[in-house]
Amino acid sequence: MFKELNAATAKPTIWSEYTADVLWTDRHIAEQMLAYHLNPEIDAASRSTGFISDSVSWLVSEFDLDEGSKTIDFGCGPGLYTQRFKDAGIGTVVGLDFSENSISYAQQKAKASNLAIEYHLGNYLEYSDPRTFDLITLVMCDLCALSPSQRFTLFAKFKSILKPEGVIALDVYTESRFTDLTEDLNVEKNAMNGFWSQEEYWCIKSSFTYDSDLVALDKYVIYEEQREWEIYNWLQHFTVEMLDTELDPHGLEVQTSYNDLRGTPLADGSEMAVIISHA
Ligand SMILES: C[S@@+](CC[C@H](N)C(=O)[O-])C[C@H]1O[C@@H](n2cnc3c(N)ncnc32)[C@H](O)[C@@H]1O
């Protein structure tokens, strides 16, 4: 037991495990995530309905998008943004996600509303497309869950599918948010109201910070009667300079930064949004 607890609560090497696919594709967890996405009141897996509508309106008017434009949403979830882009009259709207649950919800919604939106089920890190786009979106701080090598792959992809005058819109967690984090340890039965499993379980949650990298990790070790498994939720926090350093090898750069993707002016807070273009 002593050895087991030591192993369960040990601080891992930074970015040593990737389990985001379990979080979004395990049937029980994916169902709960979809419920979070579709709750219009809370900013859990998606932002609130009002925020998303404002965000889409701002992006469409700021970048003069119309029926001749092409947009692509990486990690589109149940299609809350893609649906609104198509509603706003954008010609080509593409959504990518590896959650079967979310993509089939998005497809049903599009069909019911008679909206021609293209959805692709799969890992967006492996997606390829011969077309180029006016707007690429990656929202809800999804970039922060990717390791440095995954971000490198993604930025190279963005570069290859971005029109010469096109833009990438994404949001990230900030250095300010990281400064407020502390390391912590918690043990709870059926933690988070049964979020992790339909069966009874014990959950050990260890929160770690990696100060020189501005990275935080919530590591969950889940013990059920029949199985034991782990989830690693990494979060990279960024400054604009850090983003520019990562974008530079791809010939991309931060054009403007905001507080959020509604175009709110930048202020010190836990998140920021950036518009990226070809350098
Ligand atoms: C926090 S949710 C945000 C969903 C959506 N952007 C929104 O704001 O409503 C992250 C989404 O990204 C998807 N996702 C994460 N990593 C992915 C990957 N490597 N390939 C495809 N989809 C991914 C998840 O399945 C999930 O639907």
Cα end-to-end distance, the chain, whole Å: 55
Dist. CA 105–CA 125, nearest whole Å: 22
Dist. CA 217–CA 15, nearest whole Å: 9
- Which amino acid residue places its CA nearest to atom 19 of ligand 1? 123
φ, ψ for residue 51, nearest 5 deg = -60, -50
User: In angstroms, what is the span from residue 41 Cα to ligand 1's centroid?
Assistant: 19
Tokens of 62: 């700021």
Site to substitute for ligand 1 among 48, 54, 96, 99, most atoms within 8 A of C-beta: 99
User: In angstroms, what is the span from residue 5 Cα to ligand 1's centroid?
Assistant: 32
**What tens digit of pLDDT does each residue of 180-197 get?**
999 999 999 999 999 999
Does the pTM exceed 0.75?
A: yes
The 10 Å Cβ neighbour count of residue 204 is 19
Tokens of 195: 């979020």
**Average pLDDT of the residues of the chain:** 95
Find out whether the beta carbon of 139 lies less than 6 Å from any atom of ligand 1: yes
φ, ψ for residue 129, nearest 5 deg = -155, 130
Find out whether the beta carbon of 26 lies less than 6 Å from any atom of ligand 1: no
**What tens digit of pLDDT does each residue of 224-264 get?**
999 999 999 999 999 999 999 999 999 999 999 999 999 99
Dist. CA 142–CA 57, nearest whole Å: 21
Find out whether the beta carbon of 124 lies less than 6 Å from any atom of ligand 1: yes
187-195 long-range contacts, Cβ below 8 Å, gap at least 24?
191/220, 195/29, 195/32
Nearest ligand 1 atom to alpha carbon 45 = 1
pLDDT string in tens for the chain (279-residue length): 999 999 999 999 999 998 988 877 788 988 888 888 788 776 777 788 999 999 999 999 999 999 999 999 999 999 999 999 999 999 999 999 999 999 999 999 999 999 999 999 999 999 999 999 999 999 999 999 999 999 999 999 999 999 999 999 999 999 999 999 999 999 999 999 999 999 999 999 999 999 999 999 999 999 999 999 999 999 999 999 999 999 999 999 999 999 999 999 999 999 999 999 999
User: In angstroms, what is the span from residue 4 Cα to ligand 1's centroid?
Assistant: 33
Chain centroid to Cα 272, Å, comes to 14
User: In angstroms, what is the span from residue 45 Cα to ligand 1's centroid?
Assistant: 9
User: In angstroms, what is the span from residue 21 Cα to ligand 1's centroid?
Assistant: 10
